[in-house]
Amino acid sequence: MSSSTNFDYESTLQRCAEGNRRALMQLYEQESSRLLTVVMRILKNRPLAEDVVHDAFIKIWKNANTYHKDLGSARGWVYTLARNLALNALKYSQRQVLAEPDFLLNLCDDKVLETEDHPDELSELAQDPLAQASLQVCLEHLEPERKLCVLHAYVDGYTQDEIATLLDKPLGTVKSWIKRSLRALKECLE
């Protein structure tokens, strides 16, 4: 495996578009382990992540001709494709996320939700297993994309910019969805 700075992603994708199977193999050798790491971070399920990476390389092979360098780097295109497949797999796998106390504390952060009037109640809520179960129920009431934004932000640790890229949505939309979803979760938990 060569370093990513020495590997010519653009010409490799071009050769894939021309039907060069060796180019696909070189790309696989170069990026498969890193793509698996990225997809694992999203899915938290190794067998499913391996399937998604496999599907990503099939899609790269079939769609290499759609890559255009004026829209971004070839490596970025590969990662975006893999992330989008992972997000689709996440959406359809009905992944259940157990809320950790820190997640609930972050979710109820007084800076985000402007709840400086009752910080002690929020701290107690975070330590209560029943409250965590309630949070899971409340999460299920969110629209799928909005739920995904919240989970990516507070469970996976993604920035709002990263979430916008993952979901292929404008940053302002992601910020708005997260803010509104947090308010809806707060109301549901009350």
Reported confidence tier of residue 21, pLDDT bands at 50, 70, 90: very high
In contact, 160 and 153? CB cutoff 8 Å: yes
Q: Domain boundary residue among 72, 93, 114? A: 93
State the Cα–Cα distance between residues 38 and 53, nearest whole angstrom. Answer: 10
The pLDDT, as a whole number, for residue 130 is: 57
Same domain? 20 vs 65:
yes
CATH of the domain at 128: 1.10.10.10
DSSP assignment letter at 100:
P
User: Which range in 14-18, 70-74, 131-135, 149-153 is most confidently predicted, on average pLDDT?
Assistant: 14-18
Amino acid identity at 91? K
Of 21, 11, 164, 2, the residue nearest 73 (C-alpha): 11
CA 61 to chain CA centroid, Å, is 23
Same domain? 74 vs 16:
yes
Is the residue at 4 inside a domain? no
The pLDDT, as a whole number, for residue 24 is: 94
Same domain? 178 vs 128:
yes
Q: List Cα–Cα distances, 70 to 5, 130, 146, 162, 169, in angstroms.
A: 19, 51, 30, 21, 19
The pLDDT, as a whole number, for residue 115 is: 34
The pLDDT, as a whole number, for residue 114 is: 38
Say what the pTM is: 0.49
Q: Residue 141 above 50 pLDDT?
A: yes
State the Cα–Cα distance between residues 105 and 154, nearest whole angstrom. Answer: 10
40-60 residue pLDDT tens: 988 888 888 898 999 999 999
CATH of the domain at 24: 1.10.1740.10
User: Tokens at residue 185, please?
Assistant: 């979760």
What is the number of domains present in the chain? Answer: 2
State the Cα–Cα distance between residues 99 and 178, nearest whole angstrom. Answer: 17
Mean pLDDT of the chain: 77
Residue 130 or 139, more confident: 139
In contact, 189 and 126? CB cutoff 8 Å: no
The pLDDT, as a whole number, for residue 103 is: 46
Domain that holds residue 39: 9-93
Q: Residue 110 above 50 pLDDT?
A: no
| 39-73 CB burial, b ≥16 within 10 A, e <16 | bbebbebeebbeebbebbbeebbeebeebeeeeee
Same domain? 74 vs 28:
yes
User: Which range in 81-85, 95-99, 111-115 is most confidently predicted, on average pLDDT?
Assistant: 81-85
